[in-house]
Structure 1
Amino acid sequence: MTFNIRLSPLLIGLAALVLTACQSTVPYVRTDQPAPAPVVVADHSPERRALNEQVYDEATRWVGRLFYRSDFGGVDWDALTTRRREAVVAQPDEFAFYDSLNAVIETLDDRHTNARAPHRRVRTEALERGEAQATYGMTLRWSPDGWIVHVVRPDSPAGRAGVQVGWKAETFDGRSLEASLPPSEGRSEEIVFTDETGASRAFTLTAEIMPALPQHRVERLDGDLLLVALEGFDTAPVEAVMDAIAALRSEQPARGVILDLRGNRGGSLYEMTRLMGMLVREPMIATIMTGRFVDQRIAVDPAEGAYGGPLVVLVDAASVSAAEVLAAAFQESGRAMVMGEQTVGVVVASRHLNLSDGGRLSVGMQELRTPSGVVLEGRGVTPDVEIIPTLAQRRAGEDVILAAAVAWLAANP
């Protein structure tokens, strides 16, 4: 069954209902309930094991019912989860349990299918709301090589200790990042890194409360250019960016727009299409979604006040999911010049489900393709102009990708 869904500015509310209705035809999915508070039980206790058993069975059952590949990529899911159940439920604490659970889920080779521990979920959602949290002052980004230091805040524990951009974070008090405890104010932790030479570097850092980094940025650049950067497609930052773009038609004209999706973690496909509607003058297909339960073609119509001038989209290896979908659609249609680094191809529509201990399960449910039908999962987006900053440039804060975008717009008014 195939649905053609067009998101016009006059029908946004209706379109949201249609998207919800299509997805809610999947059996057992519930997304209208708030997340339960984290369940706290003693480590190494019978209660811990009982809770592990309950959550393991919930999570593996949901994945079995909903995962978008009916053959599970060649994995015998029932046999695998039965065989590995005892080792996972025997884990002594929340974070070791979730790390072990995710090791099972990772056999499906889909980064959109994963489980997040209750206390890590609480922290992540607080950061996305812009709330101050305990931190070491460094931002890590996932890559196929592991977790890499992307930003080090100068006035932070990591900055004062000399942690450098480009190092790989190996262990946190002997644990992987996924199995470690989230930072808490005043607690110290030994973090081991591997530097660019392959040498091991260990630092004991004590977490401090620091303001959350902004989730979006709007900036006027020289040459009448507007730079808009988004860390994710969430309602509040998308609306702020849409307001800035709408202003271009009236009080603040711009000769070009740079949409910076570097490090964009994806997010709501609905919010992505809303933003796309502010950047097109002609209707277009945003993506084709295929899965076990429903197929959809999602189209976008121009919104009132949409900007139709020169547009550059910036991506890098940490632009994933909806960020890759948007970049690919604009690239194929010729709407924008895509510049930056090759993306990794983590492009599957997922559904979030609450787990009974307060954790969150994400299950990949639909494959996303470009408007011409190209599969993005595992392929990613190859920029029209590929620019790979050197480590020295990154550490010096020299943004060669943004500079190239500004130069291109100057040459292509």
Structure 2
Amino acid sequence: MMKNWQAAALAVFLGAPAFAAPPVPTLTAPKPVAPATRPQIFDFVWRKVRDGYYDPKMNGVNWNAVRAKYLPKVNAAKDEAEFYVLLNAMLAELKESHFGAIPPSALGAAKQATPGMATGVPGETGITAQLVDNQLTVVRVTPGSAGAEGGVLPGYRITAIKEKPVAPAIEAIVKADANADPRYAVWATMQSVLGGVVGTPYPLTVLDATGAEKTLTVTPRKSVVPKVTFAALPPIPADIETRTLAGGVGYVRFSIFLMPLLQPVKDAVTDFAAKGAPAIIFDLRGNRGGLGVMANSIAGTLTAKEFNLGTMKTREMAQKFPVVPQSPRFAGKVVILVDEGSVSTSEIMAGGLQEAGRATVIGRQTAGAVLPSQIVTLPDGGRLQFVFGDFRTPKGVLLEGRGVTPDITVPLSPALLAASASGDPVLDAALNFLNTPIVKETQP
């Protein structure tokens, strides 16, 4: 039988862009929602939250008044899009992450429309763009990717995508969800937009390092990243990259905390331990979280003593997230890279190992979206993600709304990005840190 802590750790700490970003406009007509089903769906959502949310005081919100406020509006909604916008507005009244409703039409999703682009299979460009000094800036370009082939370089500031200015879009994204970290919301939405449609070229207008405007052509490719199924969600991309860096330092990047990646991550740790690697860098930038139990299991390969990553509290219980030492164990230095795309389980792993003195965290402040949640199917086939607990570090720090503060913050700028020989100043900072005299870290 599964132990209580294991059951608790299987809670979903998954921050999906579908929940954090505003609805993406499509080129197809919104589906109608039968008026007779609206009260049923609405009541399902309202009651599920009322009965399952960890705080019986509903975070100070009068949940009955919220019901009275939104019920007439959802009954008058003219289509699915408007209906689900209202459902999400109701959930946003609680002012916490990990609440969201996804309409059925968004789940069919092999073919989706992206703003300003034709309907087709979503593509991949290898471009990662984030807010830097309040401007959408290219922070990484995957070597050999469509973006690299199109001439896109780190440090370029994106001003338009397919001749559509990005500034108004960013403003709309930030206004759409006052509860979300705007950096995360913009990153998550723009990753989808920049992905485009497979085989459909689009112009990307940028300012280069000198401030000169360029219009590049990017042709998205079919993603080769494997996808896995989880809970009631559509297939989710799940990839892992491992390599040996200068000085024998191990590097492990994985995109999500889901079970198909657990053993490959642990195998990589074992391999680097066998090779005598002086350090391992875990790159959790852009990792949207997933299953809490994975953070415990991975951390167990890095310690000689038991400790906790934190405590989850629901209405019924308070449950610690214990880390149990595993063999073989990696005893070298541990660095974790984070940014605003590091959410949920990523923050639990980074914050827990940092607080235990076992890892040095480098990069940018994380999103602060760290709440255990559950995903259920709605009566119309849509999905509801709702929070049933909170999470605090062993020292009682609430990461929700705060995030993990790096030990070494790397303040990105277009100039720094353009000047980096590797194209990745955050990874450069990690390697520079590891090239300093190795200081024996605490073994919790």
Q: Kindly provide the amino acid, as one letter, of the partner of residue 84 in structure 1.
A: Y
Give the 5 Å matches for 1:201-212. Answer: 209-212=222-225
- Deviation string 1:250-283 (CA, Å, 9 cap, x unpaired) is 3x22111111111111110011111111121211
Q: Contact (CA 8 Å) 1:166, 1:391: kept in 2 or not?
A: no
> Deviation of residue 183 (structure 1)?
7.3
- CA gap of 1:184–1:329, structure 2 versus 1, over 3 A, is same
Output the CA distance in 1 between the equivalents of 2:416 and 2:87.
Answer: 38
- Displacement of 1:53 in angstroms is 3.4
Matched, 1:348 2:339: no
How many matched pairs?
Answer: 370
- Per the TM alignment, residue 51 of structure 1 is displaced from its structure 2 partner at its CA by 3.8
1:13-412 matches, within 5 Å, as 14-15=2-3, 19-20=6-7, 43=30, 45=32, 48-123=34-109, 133-135=121-123, 137=125, 155=146, 170-171=168-169, 209-212=222-225, 215-250=239-274, 252-394=275-417, 398-412=423-437
1:141, distance to aligned residue in structure 2 (A): 6.6
Which secondary structure does the structure 2 equivalent of 1:362 belong to? strand
1:78 deviates by 1.9
**Structure 1 residue 358: Cα displacement:** 2.4
Residue 363 of structure 1 deviates from its aligned partner by 1.1
2: CA distance, partners of 1:292 / 1:147: 41
Q: What is the rounded CA distance, in whole Å, between the counterparts of 1:285 and 1:307 in structure 2?
A: 18
Shift of 1:343: 1.8
Residue by residue, what CA displacement relative to the aligned partner does 1:184-234 show, whole Å, maximum 9, x if unpaired? 7799999999x99xxxxx999998744447632111111011011122211
Deviates more, 1:145-154 or 1:281-290: 145-154
* Counterpart residue type for residue 372 of structure 1: K
Q: Residues 120, 278 of structure 1: CA spacing in aligned structure 2 closer, same or farther, 3 A cutoff?
A: farther
Residue 6 of structure 1 is matched in structure 2 by none
Tell me if structure 1 keeps the 8 A contact 2:284–2:336. Answer: yes
**d(CA) in 2 for partners of 1:59, 1:230:** 33
Indicate how the Cα distance of structure 1 residues 43 and 228 shifts in structure 2: closer, same or farther if over 3 A, else same: closer
CA contact (8 A) 1:272 1:322 kept: yes
User: For the Cα contact (< 8 Å) 1:136–1:205, is it kept in 2?
Assistant: no
**2:128 and 2:140 in contact (8 A); partners too:** yes
- The whole-number CA distance in structure 2 between the counterparts of 1:306 and 1:161 is 40
Q: Which sections of structure 2, spanning at least 5 residues, go unmatched?
A: 12-28, 113-119, 160-165, 177-188, 210-214, 226-236, 439-444
**In the TM superposition, what whole-angstrom CA distance separates every residue of 1:268-300 from its partner, at most 9, and x where no partner exists?**
001111111112121111111112221111211
Answer yes or no: is the 8 Å Cα contact 1:152–1:159 preserved in 2.
no
User: 1:189 and 1:221, CA in 2 relative to 1: closer, same or farther beyond 3 A?
Assistant: closer
Residues 152 and 387 from structure 1, CA distance in 2 versus in 1: closer, same or farther, beyond 3 angstroms? closer
CA distance 1:18–1:330, shift in 2 (3 Å): closer
* Counterpart code for 2:286: G
In the aligned structure 2, how far is the partner of 1:398 from the partner of 1:223? 19
- Name the TM-score, length of structure 2 as normaliser: 0.69
Give the distance between the partners of 2:260 and 2:376, measured in 1 at CA. 22
**Counterpart-to-counterpart distance in 2, 1:401 and 1:312:** 11
The letter for the 1-side match of 2:77 is Q
Quick check: 2:334–2:360 contact (8 Å CA) kept in 1? Answer: yes
The answer (yes or no) to whether the contact 2:150–2:217 under 8 Å persists in 1 is no
Q: TM-score, normalised by structure 1?
A: 0.74
Q: Does the CA contact (< 8 Å) of 2:279 and 2:334 recur in 1? A: yes
Q: Which amino acid aligns with 2:297?
A: R
Q: What's the offset of the Cα at 1:147?
A: 9.1
| 258-267 or 84-93: bigger deviation | 84-93
Please say which of residues 403-412 and 392-401 is displaced more in the overlay: 392-401
Distance (whole Å) between structure 2 residues aligned to residue 398 and residue 161 of structure 1: 11
Q: Amino acid of the residue matched to residue 62 of structure 1? A: K
Verify the 8 A CA contact 1:345 1:381 in the aligned structure 2: yes
Tell me the alpha carbon deviations over residues 367-386 of structure 1, each in whole angstroms, 9 at most, x when there is no partner. 11111111111222111111
CA–CA distance in structure 1, aligned partners of residues 289 and 136 of structure 2 = 18
| Aligned counterparts of 2:83 and 2:130: Cα–Cα separation in 1 | 23
The 3 A distance-change label for structure 1 pair 207 and 256 is closer
Cα deviation for residue 90 of structure 1 reads 3.4
Is the 1:288–1:297 Cα contact (8 Å) retained in structure 2? yes
Query: Is this contact kept in 2: 1:88–1:101, CA < 8 A?
Result: yes
Q: 1:148 and 1:400, CA in 2 relative to 1: closer, same or farther beyond 3 A?
A: closer
- Which amino acid letter does the alignment assign opposite residue 135 of structure 1? G
Q: Which runs of 5+ in 1 are unaligned?
A: 1-12, 25-41, 127-131, 197-201
